[in-house]
């Protein structure tokens, strides 16, 4: 099937009490691992692309990989642009066939964030493309965005409601205490804030900073309205470690296809564990029409 946007898959996830995994891919091998895994588990999935990764491979190439991999698959797959801080770059990805985009103007004032998000919604909606926006400041490093602990702040529930009433987004990413990268200690998740924002916005929430959260934390967040869960750092580690370990254990082989196959298998295994944990396995094809 063609790429789909993430609006319906996230509404279905909220209604069904599960979440859809959004996996940051790094190249064709990792994109293939995400989509093949979703196919095998009959799960809706979000192939998430960081801006730096898109700049490395080019928009045309990445969109064509996604289209080619999805043509032969029966599960819904969204190609989503993660944390883009540049409205013009979002426009280019829309032109190249991304089915979903995130405009991250969270470092701007509330008014500017709203203005940029409104511009992106205006560009995306006529093409049936879903939009995610962020409020508050999520600590850690994602792509070229670095938020230090002292600059991080949680989303304000009043402003969240005001924001989501003012602009027609499909997914809302409030800062709720999670962090991008590796957690240094036990994360303090503001569950009451998640609950209040869900009630007041009625928009599926994105949980950023999925790497390193416990199964229990994921389950609690899903029950409170987090319908999209982002996993990036974990896959970066698996991507490198699986390749390096294979080469280390077969140091005389020099057959590049073998470490790539080992990397693909390791990524798939990690992705499968998360899809099963989030409850989205078996949910493709069960979407409401």
CB of 143 to ligand 13P, least distance (A): 8
Our CB check for ligand 13P shows the closer of 234 and 263 to be 234
CA 83/CA 51 separation, integer angstroms: 7
Binding of ligand 13P at residue 100 (CB under 6 A)?
A: no
CB of 72 to ligand 13P, least distance (A): 27
CB of 251 to ligand 13P, least distance (A): 31
Stretch that binds ligand 13P, among 35-43, 128-136, 229-237, 252-260 (CB under 6 A): 229-237
Binding of ligand 13P at residue 231 (CB under 6 A)?
A: yes
Stretch that binds ligand 13P, among 85-93, 111-119, 128-136, 206-214 (CB under 6 A): 206-214
CA 132/CA 121 separation, integer angstroms: 9
Query: Which pairs with CB-CB distance under 8 Å and at least 24 residues apart come from 255-263?
Result: 260/29, 263/29, 263/30, 263/238, 263/239
- To the query of whether residue 82 is one of the catalytic residues in this protein, the response is yes
CA 229/CA 35 separation, integer angstroms: 16
CA 133/CA 141 separation, integer angstroms: 17
CA 103/CA 124 separation, integer angstroms: 11
Binding of ligand 13P at residue 44 (CB under 6 A)?
A: no
Binding of ligand 13P at residue 187 (CB under 6 A)?
A: no
Among 99, 211, 263, 270, binds ligand 13P (CB under 6 A): 211
Cα-based distances in Å from 19 to 179, 220, 221: 18, 11, 9
| List of residues 6+ apart from 263 with CB closer than 8 A | 29, 30, 238, 239, 242, 243, 246
CB of 69 to ligand 13P, least distance (A): 21
Q: Looking at 15, 27, 82, 95, which residue is catalytic?
A: 82
Count of residues that bind ligand 13P according to CB under 6 A: 15
Binding of ligand 13P at residue 230 (CB under 6 A)?
A: yes
Q: What is the DSSP string of 30-49?
A: HHHHHHHHHHHHT--EEEEE
Active site residues: 82
| Binding footprint of ligand 13P on the chain (CB under 6 A) | 24, 82-83, 142, 180-181, 208-211, 230-234
């Amino acid at each position: 099937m063609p790429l789909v946007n993430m609006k319906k898959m996230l509404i279905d996830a909220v209604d069904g009490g599960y979440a859809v995994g959004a996996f940051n891919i790094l190249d064709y091998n990792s994109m293939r691992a995400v989509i093949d895994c979703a196919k095998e588990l009959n799960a809706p999935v979000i192939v998430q692309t960081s801006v730096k990764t898109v700049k490395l491979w080019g928009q045309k190439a990445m969109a064509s990989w996604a289209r080619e991999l999805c043509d032969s698959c029966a599960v819904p797959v969204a190609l989503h642009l993660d944390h883009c801080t540049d409205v013009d770059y979002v426009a280019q990805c829309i032109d190249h066939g991304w089915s979903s985009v995130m405009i991250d103007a969270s470092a701007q004032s509330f008014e500017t964030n709203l203005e940029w998000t409104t511009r992106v919604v205006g560009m995306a909606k006529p093409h049936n493309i879903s939009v995610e926006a962020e409020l508050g400041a999520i600590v850690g490093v994602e792509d070229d965005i670095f938020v230090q602990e002292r600059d991080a702040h949680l989303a304000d529930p009043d402003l969240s409601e005001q924001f989501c009433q003012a602009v027609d987004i499909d997914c809302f990413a409030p800062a709720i205490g999670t962090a991008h990268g590796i957690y240094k200690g036990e994360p303090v998740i503001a569950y009451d804030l998640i609950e209040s924002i869900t009630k007041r916005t009625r928009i599926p929430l994105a949980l950023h900073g999925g790497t390193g959260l416990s199964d229990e934390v994921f389950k609690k967040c899903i029950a409170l309205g987090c319908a999209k869960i982002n996993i990036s750092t974990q896959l970066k580690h698996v991507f490198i470690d699986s390749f390096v370990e294979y080469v280390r254990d077969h140091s005389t082989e020099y057959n590049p296809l073998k470490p790539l196959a080992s990397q693909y298998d390791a990524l798939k295994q990690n992705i499968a564990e998360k899809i099963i944990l989030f409850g989205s396995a078996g949910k493709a094809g069960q979407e409401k029409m």
